[in-house]
Amino acid sequence: MESAFEIVAEPNRRAILSLLASSERSVGEIERRLRMTQPSVSKHLRVLREAGFVESAVDAQRRLYRLKPERLEELDAWLSQFRRFWSEQVDALERHLDRMDRRTQSKEKTRRKK
């Protein structure tokens, strides 16, 4: 279980990572938000920590876990070889629209993605 892919293959771990994307959390918070048992949360956090996806800080009895993005970036890097398949046509258009968006953010032109 070394590769970043195997780590994120587990649904509960993906849920934890998504949760930590918004802000750092204690084990108990994760437990309640994701409706997982405490040992399960701790075990998954251990895997994530040892794999370098998260890091923890001691806060009294609690431990606060926060995201470390490097390993996720690996996934992104691997995916980059395929990105042309879906961004080929869209690419130029997207960039253009994004730029328009930034320039007209006040006008609320209601361009919603997908």
Partner DNA sequence: TCATAATATTCCTTGACACGTATATACGTC
Partner DNA sequence: GACGTATATACGTGTCAAGGAATATTATGA
Chain positions contacting DNA, by CB under 7 A: 1, 6, 9-10, 12, 26-28, 31, 37-47, 56, 58, 60-63
For DNA, which is the closer residue by CB, 10 or 74?
A: 10
Output the six-digit token pair for 47.
Answer: 């895997």
Judged by beta carbon distances under 5 to 8 A according to partner kind, the member of DNA, a second copy, none in contact with residue 40 is DNA
Which stretches of the chain bind a second copy, using CB under 8 A?
3, 5-6, 8-9, 11, 14, 17-18, 21, 67, 69-70, 72-73, 75-76, 78-79, 81-83, 85-86
CA-based nearest residue to 16, from 52, 43, 41, 49: 41
Q: What are phi and psi of 91, to 5 degrees?
A: -40, -65
CA-based nearest residue to 63, from 100, 31, 22: 31
